[in-house]
Amino acid sequence: MTDDSTFASLPTADGSARLPACAGADGGRQQRHGAALRFFWGPMDCGKSTMALQMNYNHARQGRRGLVLTRIDRSLGPRITTRIGLAHDAIEVTDDLDLCDLVRGRMAEGVRIDYLICDEVCFYTVRHVEQMAELVDHYGVDVFAFGLATDFRSCLFPAAQRLFELADEVTRIQVEVLCWCGRPGLLNARVVNGAVVREGQQVLIGDTAEGAEVRYQVLCRQHYRAGDLGRR
């Protein structure tokens, strides 16, 4: 686990000033000791969504109240789904959704919000990440973010990059994913019609199922760079 809180003083990714603080329900700051922005990352198949649902369960059973959010889940609906069959309804994050406004609205309705579970956070915008930091700093809301770090080109997603810069804690999920050769799987290859591709739009929906026109396969660095999918 890496503590990246030292990055909190950096400017935003585009060089602009940081977003203004979100006012609390009473018009001022509501700081609860220990609130933090935590980013959990890893390649496909490492159990990010499963961990997100487990985190939500653990906090809810202790009486804490939270919101579950996702974006572009494999189900293509407002749900968090996992490859082992777990699922949970979620709020769909869109470009124009303001996370501070979302929490402020629930508080205005008298709903206590202790934490957010943010799955598929690699697909969020950089502004959403800035809003997560504001929720922690000015509302005392814990934010647990889960997602990929890099895309099919092995480049950081913009939101993931900002999370590495801003998060209080950054943790690589320890469930080991293996390449076909047995080495640790590090990178997410996009496979189109049976071949690894290096160009295209950053976000393109696909899964790991065999036979799909567009799918993803986790590879070690050597076989990712070689485009070698192994013998099927």
Active-site residue numbers? 120
- Paired with 115 in beta bridges are 66, 142
Q: Which of 168, 180, 94, 103 is nearest to 139 (CA)?
A: 103
CA distance 34 to 222: 41
Residues with Cβ within 8 Å of residue 183, at least 6 apart in sequence: 220, 222
**For 94-107, what is the HEC assignment?**
CCCCCHHHHHHHHH
Q: Cβ–Cβ contacts within 10 Å for residue 201, how many?
A: 7
